[in-house]
Structure 1
Amino acid sequence: MSAALAAAPPPTLAEFLDWEPRQDAHFEWDGIQPLAMVGRTFLHTELASRVFDALRAALRGTPCSVIRADLRVMTANASRVRYPDLAVTCSPIGPADRVVPAPVFLPEVLSETTGAVDRGIKRQEYAALPSLTRYVMLAHDAPLAIVCDRASGFEERPERETLSIPEFGITLPLAVLYAGLLPG
C-alpha cells in the first residue's frame, strides 16, 4: 500500500535512492515522487507470509532466494523503485545489497487502495523486467490468484483453486493459503 509523501520530496531518482534508506518507512518511487508505503492488514501480512514460507521450503538447496518486502525492485529501465510483497531471485545477492537482482517471480497481495496500481502500472513495469517469468496478485477479499506470466504476454489469468508456480515446482491450494483469513 502506498500514499503520496506530504513533505517536499527529493526531486530526482538519484536523490531518492540516497534519501530513502535513511527514512523510518519504505517509500516507492513512481518516476516522479516518493510514495510512502502505509500499514498493511493482518490478512495482507499473513497471506504474504504463507506464500513466503511455501517458497522458502521449495527453494531450499537451490541457488534461488525468496525476499520479503524489504529490498527494492528497480523497474522501467531502473527509473522506478518498487517494494513487492515478495520477490524471488536466482542471481547472487550480497549481504549489503538493497536491490533484488534479476527477479524471476513477484507475488503481491492486492489491497483496496493499491489494487488498481498493482494490476495496471506495476504489471506493465514488471512485465518489462527481462528476468521476470511470473507476477502473481492475490486478492484481498476472496481466494483468488491473478497470474501474469511471460508465456501469456503478462495478460491476467485467474486461478481459483490452486496457485501454480511451475518455475519452482510448487502448487499451492488457495483454500489452504486463505484458511481462516476471510470472513464466513
Structure 2
Amino acid sequence: MNAPLRKAWTQEEFFSWAERQEPRYEFDGFQPVAMTGGTINHDRITRKLNRSLDARLGNGPCEPLGPNAGVETAGRAVRYPDALVTCSKVEGEGYLVPGVVVVFEVISPSSSRIDRIVKLREYAAIPSIRRYVILESTTIALTVFERSGSDEMWRAAPLTKDDILRMPEIGIEIPVAEFYDGMTFPDDEVASA
C-alpha cells in the first residue's frame, strides 16, 4: 500500500500559518520546522551581538535586524538568523529582508549540524550575503565564512577572544570578546587552572 505524499507548503501558506503560532518556526522550503529554545548563554550572546551591531551601525545606510526578520534562502526556505544586516530598504510590514549582506547564528550543540551544514549551504546560495558568522554558545569562538574574490567561494576563518571581527562590507569591526563580556565557560576555567 502506498501512502500519499503530502503537498509542499508555499511561503505564503507558511507565513499565514506561522503568524498564529506560539513557538517560532522556520520554513525549509517544504514544511514548517520548529525552532528549539536556546540556553541562557545563547540569549546573552544574541543580545550582546544585537547591541554591538546597533551601536556601530546607528542610523547609517545599513540596518541590523533579528531575530524575527526572515531571510529567503535556497529553495524558497525561510530562515530567522539571530541577527542580520541589510543595506537595502526594508518595508515594515514585510516578512522577508531583501539584500541581506551579513548573517549571524548563535549555535548550541543541538543546532550545530543545521547551522554549520544546511544553513551554510543555503546562505552561500544567496549572492548578496557576503559573510556568515557563527558564534559559539559554549566557548568564546566564532567561525566566519566570507566570499573570497570573484570566484564567489566561501573562505572560513576561526576567531577567538583576542581577535577582531572585521566586516568591511558594512564598514564596522567588533572585538570578539565584546560578544562574551562577563561570561565564563567551563573550558575557560580549566584552561586557566
TM-score by length of 2: 0.83
Of residues 104, 108, 116, the one that matches 1:107 is: 104
Residues 86-140 of structure 1 show CA distances to partners (whole Å, capped at 9, x for unaligned) of 1111111112111111110101101110111101010110011111111000111
| Corresponding residue pairs, total | 175
**Misfit runs of 4+, over 3 Å:** none
Equivalent residue of 1:18, what SS? helix
Report the CA distance between 1:176 and its aligned residue: 3.0
Q: Percent identity?
A: 36
Of residues 111, 121, 127, the one that matches 1:124 is: 121
Is the contact made by 2:62 and 2:170 (CA closer than 8 Å) also made in structure 1?
no
Amino acid at match of 2:38: R
Is the contact made by 2:107 and 2:136 (CA closer than 8 Å) also made in structure 1?
yes
Of residues 29, 35, 41, the one that matches 1:43 is: 41
Amino acid at match of 1:93: V
Is the contact made by 2:140 and 2:180 (CA closer than 8 Å) also made in structure 1?
yes
Which runs of 5 or more residues in structure 2 are unaligned?
Answer: 1-5
Name the larger-Rg structure: 2
Which runs of 5 or more residues in structure 1 are unaligned?
Answer: 1-8
Question: Relative to 1, partners in 2 of residues 1:10 and 1:172: Cα closer, same or farther, differing over 3 Å?
Answer: farther
Equivalent residue of 1:145, what SS? strand
Report the CA distance between 1:10 and its aligned residue: 8.1
The 5-angstrom pairing of residues 158-177 of structure 1 reads: 158-160=158-160, 161-177=163-179
Amino acid at match of 1:115: S
Residues 29-56 of structure 1 show CA distances to partners (whole Å, capped at 9, x for unaligned) of 1123211112122211111111111111
